[in-house]
């Protein structure tokens, strides 16, 4: 509980936006995986604010350091501590926050829960906390690549406000997502999204959207049968990101507009694998 | 993990649809709460299939028994084991299931994961597993009533297929929900829903819907700050119920159609409680 | 925590000495293991009080029942609930306990901790709680036998009061332990122990001893490296049994009387297994 | 599991003897406790090797840094990350270790378990790992001081080889322990111990001993009733320290030489606190 996620591969994030630094301890990572700071830095750079004109302009020039759990370029099976030091602690920049609670932020909630908060910024509720998650995910990708080489995850911006991308989940590729700064694989809609975001920003306003993810090559039987079902774990994980408000899997809410006969998930017999029945 | 939910108040459900019985062990329940089998039975009776003509006709006449953790009508702080024995194990009734995997069911998934399943029915994936959850929830309500007397949860059917009820979350009461067999507090829409479900059933088909819940009197600061946020825990819990596909909290997906200035969650100053700022 | 032990193979015991029954839920047991009530009953019968004239005369004729997790004689990977119903609840037998706290018992501790206790007997602190542990251990032995066929555990009474058995840990066998009612593989000392216990009992007094266990075929690297070391887990497990006061592993406390050069655990090179270095 | 200890106040240690650094993440620390790096440094300095001529001469001049969870001198309720950077990584110093497994060390065990180890030193099994524990304990003492002001723990060296100190557990004070470099409150025996250790060291040999701890003001009912009993948790914790081989509580093994009537833990009635019965 608290700042931890996972059981066997368990991550503990720590750190506030203003303070010594932020990071993560990853416990349960298998040994003998090749891992370098560059592997993690690559994903931290993707996460970094200030990369383009449509995201928060706050500049973060974060360099990660692996303090433990890696020896001569390979994981050792012991806890991996990844640290990103905070460079730019300018308490005075947010001094007016000490006595003010920003609406739609966690300021009041932290104050009510703990009776204290690091008011120099978002503190623990800052999006900087996600640095630890992104670093851990970079390591998790190494683990998945080793034990589930056929598993593929492609996530992308599906919609911004009323602008909904047309994406074929069966064919969308990671490269299409990376092709533009809004990370929407529908190139035409991406242009519209970028223009829209710029316009909204120019009015001092903000706007949100929907992220969609496609998982391919998921092994049958993944997840626990009752409480920790695959969809339950995913829902909990997704709603733990800051400012998320909904989660759907499969047909989602739209599925309630179908009857059972329309909505049935029929089996398809495939050749191969000994002729076993398999899911679509 | 696996068949457990919760940390301090932790429940472990067990049991298959066909076998000796189903139930739950509740660990971490505070002592000195008044608790009887009748308290639990009341909610099990609400859950029971075969109560009305719009639900599955399978008759379950389940009587629970508390085997531990209660002494002279009060909880003792030790684990509470609640058992409902399976009465009607007729393996032959489902004999054809041994070599067949029902689509949209977990039959294949269990077989793939474990290499074995209790094919006499849904086994562990049967909705009978929820008996343990309902029993545990009856106890949880006792705990909440004791420690958070102002906390109120009202849940109801919001929509069935295209039939969407009009419900005012601010005023809806539990009695309105209990007033009809479809448990929709919009009395007029409830009649339509019941007729619609009957018609669909008469065609051998099925249909789903959306459940909405209102929570009142939630203390500020509930939930953990990072991974086990209130919304993350709720999302994971809701998606762990059988056949659920989506979760929303607050404005949900519709919130993406608002801009920041429209969507802002402004503070309202209230009298009382020392004039503290408080959430709406 | 609380009434649970283990992580992957996790057991939750429940039940008081007087009440509906006692038992255990075993979560995380691998599927496809052969398991019957007879497998468990065999060990419950070994545990049972009243078997001989040297143990507590309280008669317990306990029959276990598996309520879930087993199908057609094999485990299904779902939680296994084992129940032993309490037969002989005679509250009046202990009525004077309601207002009395027995010294060297947990009566006062439970009352202080929870403000209530099942005073009809030892309640949760009764040795009857160990029925759930023994049942779970019977299942655990099946798991070990399947995945670590060379692993062998032989435990026996090493001493009673000043009577210390001579046992060669390298050769002692389970059959030697089972050869007498005090379960001491030193046959001559066993006779003395039995006579001594009878004499002590005839004076209305009691006496304790030391249990020693030998583990053979333990795979290298078992246990976690830091907190959940093999010896730490064993120590915690052993001290969780009622009325235990000490634990030693390897040379134990006597090791402090050796210097490093005398006490060193030198490697021995063995033929086979590719000539790998291996522990003694 | 793995590198974590505790549930509500949960610590995760990380780091190897040679590498970036060592440290701990403390999750679940209550907010609003006064905490500074000096509070932690004080205990790290007590732990530090090279302080006197009777301990390992390896010089460690470790300075801790708190990277998160503390704001303006007080804890915030968020994870506290404490880091001690490794200063003196001289891989060549231990180069011969790469192909050698030291007897009585964990070298072979790590290699067998993980297939890799940081052979530059003890790696994760180095006593440097305990820096994280000592830092966490310094914080834990703050928590105990706040919530259990009457609780007192005095631990000291009870024996070295055959030299056994005479200590009265009822009166021994922390200052007596700190009065000499072997931390034995029996001043005369301490001199003998120091001379003995010096003599053993001069022969290139080593020697061990027994640590005894007295706890005063422990609240009644501490610990969980079944598996996580107070004595079980203590036993597991103590055996998780490197090179520990035994644990006793109360009368320990010697208790087996007493009969029940001699060994009974009778209640003593005390004045005050409403005349409630209380333990000795």
Tell me the pLDDT band of C90, cut-offs 50, 70 and 90.
low
Q: Contact C123/B12, CB-based, under 8 Å?
A: no
Nearest to C28 among B2, B20, B21 (CB): B2
* CA–CA separation, D244 and C225 (whole Å): 14
pLDDT tens digit sequence for C126-147: 999 999 999 999 999 999 999 9
pLDDT tens digit sequence for C6-23: 999 999 999 999 889 999
Q: Contact A208/B256, CB-based, under 8 Å?
A: yes
Asked whether the beta carbons of C59 and C49 are under 8 A apart, the reply is yes
What pLDDT sits at residue C40?
A: 97
Q: Contact B103/A267, CB-based, under 8 Å?
A: yes
Q: Which residues 109-148 in chain C show a CB within 8 A of chain D? A: 109-110, 112-114, 124-125, 129
Asked whether the beta carbons of C109 and D221 are under 8 A apart, the reply is yes
What pLDDT sits at residue A275?
A: 38
* Residue C89 reports pLDDT greater than 90: no
**Residue C14 in contact with partner chain B when CB distance is under 8 A:** yes
* CA–CA separation, A265 and D201 (whole Å): 74
Q: What is the mean pLDDT of residues C220-227?
A: 91
Q: Contact D21/A77, CB-based, under 8 Å?
A: no
Nearest to A78 among C7, C78, C225 (CB): C225
* CA–CA separation, B225 and B276 (whole Å): 22
Q: Contact A240/B228, CB-based, under 8 Å?
A: yes
Q: What pTM was computed for the model?
A: 0.94
Identify the sign of the CA torsion A143, A144, A145, A146.
positive
What pLDDT sits at residue C48?
A: 85
Q: What is the mean pLDDT of residues C184-196?
A: 98
Quick one: what percent of chain C has pLDDT higher than 90?
Answer: 77
ipTM above 0.95, yes or no: no
Quick one: what percent of chain B has pLDDT higher than 90?
Answer: 77
**Residue B66 in contact with partner chain C when CB distance is under 8 A:** yes
Phi, psi for residue C115 in degrees, rounded to 5: 75, 10
At residue B65's C-alpha, the angle toward residues B64 and B70, to 5°, is 130
Give the containing element (helix H, strand E) for C199.
helix C187-202
Phi, psi for residue A198 in degrees, rounded to 5: -60, -45
What pLDDT sits at residue B97?
A: 76
**Residues of chain C contacting B2 with CB distance shorter than 8 Å:** 10, 27-28, 79
* Residue C88 reports pLDDT greater than 80: no
Asked whether the beta carbons of B10 and B28 are under 8 A apart, the reply is yes
Tell me the pLDDT band of B269, cut-offs 50, 70 and 90.
confident
User: Would you list the DSSP string of chain B?
Assistant: -TTEE-SSSEEEEEE-SSSSEEEEEEESPPSS-B--HHHHHHHHHHH-TTSSTTS--------EEE-SSEETTEE-SSPEEEEEE-----GGGGGGGTT---TTSSHHHHHHHHS---TTSSGGGSGGGHHHHHHHHHHHHHHHHHH-TT-EEEEEEEEETTEE----TTT--HHHHTTSTT--S-HHHHHHHHHHHHHHHHTT--B-EEEEEEEESPPTT-S-SSTT-HHHHHHHHHHTSTT--EEE-TTGGGGGGSBHHHH----EE-SSGGG-EE--
**What is the pLDDT of chain B when averaged over all its residues?**
91
Q: Contact A123/D16, CB-based, under 8 Å?
A: no
* Pairwise pLDDT comparison (B157 vs A62), residue with the higher score: B157
**Residue A228 in contact with partner chain B when CB distance is under 8 A:** yes
Q: What is the end-to-end Cα distance of chain C in Å, rounded?
A: 35
Which range has the top average pLDDT, B21-30, C120-129, C216-225? B21-30
Taking one residue from B and the other from D, the number of pairs with CB-CB distance under 8 angstroms is 3
Q: What is the mean pLDDT of residues D108-135?
A: 93
What pLDDT sits at residue B2?
A: 84
* Residue D277 reports pLDDT greater than 50: no
**What is the pLDDT of chain C when averaged over all its residues?**
91
Q: Which residues 174-213 in chain C show a CB within 8 A of chain B? A: none
Q: What is the end-to-end Cα distance of chain D in Å, rounded?
A: 35
Q: Contact D113/C4, CB-based, under 8 Å?
A: no
* Residue B276 reports pLDDT greater than 90: no
Nearest to D1 among C5, C7, C250 (CB): C7
**Residue C221 in contact with partner chain A when CB distance is under 8 A:** no
Tell me the pLDDT band of D94, cut-offs 50, 70 and 90.
low
**Residue A61 in contact with partner chain B when CB distance is under 8 A:** no
What pLDDT sits at residue A97?
A: 76
Nearest to B208 among A7, A255, A264 (CB): A255
Return the residue of A nearest to D121 by Cα.
Answer: A71
Q: Which residues 19-48 in chain C show a CB within 8 A of chain D? A: none
Q: Which of A181-190, B40-49, B151-160, C163-172 has the lowest mean pLDDT?
A: B40-49
Nearest to B1 among A210, A224, A257 (CB): A224
* Pairwise pLDDT comparison (B135 vs B279), residue with the higher score: B135
Asked whether the beta carbons of D265 and D280 are under 8 A apart, the reply is yes
Quick one: what percent of chain D has pLDDT higher than 70?
Answer: 92
What pLDDT sits at residue D237?
A: 97
* CA–CA separation, A79 and D124 (whole Å): 9
* Residue C203 reports pLDDT greater than 90: yes
Q: What is the mean pLDDT of residues C78-83?
A: 98
What pLDDT sits at residue A92?
A: 65
Contacts of A51 (CB under 8 A, 6+ apart): A45, A181
**What is the pLDDT of chain D when averaged over all its residues?**
91
* CA–CA separation, B166 and A110 (whole Å): 35
Tell me the pLDDT band of B51, cut-offs 50, 70 and 90.
confident
Nearest to B240 among A110, A205, A226 (CB): A226
* CA–CA separation, C244 and C276 (whole Å): 39
Smallest CA–CA distance, residue D271 to chain B, in Å, is 27
Return the residue of B nearest to D77 by Cα.
Answer: B225
What pLDDT sits at residue B60?
A: 66
What pLDDT sits at residue C273?
A: 47
* CA–CA separation, B219 and B150 (whole Å): 9
**Residue C225 in contact with partner chain A when CB distance is under 8 A:** yes
Q: Which of A62-66, A112-116, C48-52, C163-167 has the lowest mean pLDDT?
A: C48-52
* CA–CA separation, A131 and A14 (whole Å): 10
Tell me the pLDDT band of B89, cut-offs 50, 70 and 90.
low
Q: What is the mean pLDDT of residues C65-80?
A: 97
Q: Which of B1, B2, B7, B14 to mutate to test the interface with C (most CBs of C within 10 A)?
A: B14
What pLDDT sits at residue B92?
A: 64
Give per-residue burial for C208-233: e unless 16+ CB within 10 Å, then b: bbbebebeeeeeebeebbbbbbbbbb
Of residues A111, A152, A187, D253, the one with CA closest to residue C158: D253
* Residue C276 reports pLDDT greater than 60: no
Tell me the pLDDT band of C94, cut-offs 50, 70 and 90.
low
Block means of pLDDT (10 residues each) for chain A, 280 residues, are: 90 94 97 97 89 71 94 97 84 72 90 92 92 98 96 97 97 97 97 97 96 95 92 97 96 95 87 45
Q: What is the mean pLDDT of residues B43-72?
A: 85
E strands present in chain D? 4-5, 10-15, 21-27, 64-66, 70-71, 74-75, 80-85, 152-160, 163-164, 209-216, 246-248, 268-269, 277-278
């Amino acid at each position: 509980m608290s700042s931890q996620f996972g059981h066997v591969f368990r991550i503990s994030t720590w750190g506030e936006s203003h303070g010594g630094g932020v990071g993560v301890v990853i416990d349960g990572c298998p040994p003998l995986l090749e891992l370098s700071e560059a592997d993690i830095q690559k994903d931290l750079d993707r996460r970094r604010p200030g990369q383009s004109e449509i995201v928060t302009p706050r500049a973060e020039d974060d360099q990660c350091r692996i303090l433990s759990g890696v020896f001569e370029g390979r994981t050792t099976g012991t806890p991996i501590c990844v640290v990103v030091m905070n460079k730019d602690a300018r308490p005075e920049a947010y001094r007016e926050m000490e006595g003010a609670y920003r609406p739609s932020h966690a300021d009041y909630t932290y104050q009510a829960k703990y009776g204290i908060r690091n008011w120099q910024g978002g503190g623990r509720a800052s999006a900087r906390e996600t640095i630890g998650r992104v670093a851990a995910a970079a390591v998790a990708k190494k683990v998945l690549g080793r034990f589930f080489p056929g598993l593929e995850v492609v996530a992308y911006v599906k919609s911004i406000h009323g602008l909904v991308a047309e994406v074929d989940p069966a064919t969308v590729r990671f490269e299409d997502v990376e092709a533009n700064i809004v990370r929407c694989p529908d190139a035409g809609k991406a242009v519209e999204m970028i223009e829209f975001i710029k316009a909204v920003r120019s009015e001092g306003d903000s706007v949100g959207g929907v992220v969609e993810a496609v998982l391919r090559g998921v092994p049958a039987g993944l997840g626990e049968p009752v409480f920790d079902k695959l969809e339950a774990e995913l829902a909990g994980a997704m709603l733990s990101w800051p400012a998320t408000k909904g989660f759907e899997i499969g047909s989602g809410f739209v599925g309630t507009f179908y009857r059972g006969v329309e909505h049935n998930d029929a089996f398809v017999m495939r050749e191969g694998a000994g002729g076993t029945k398999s899911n679509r």
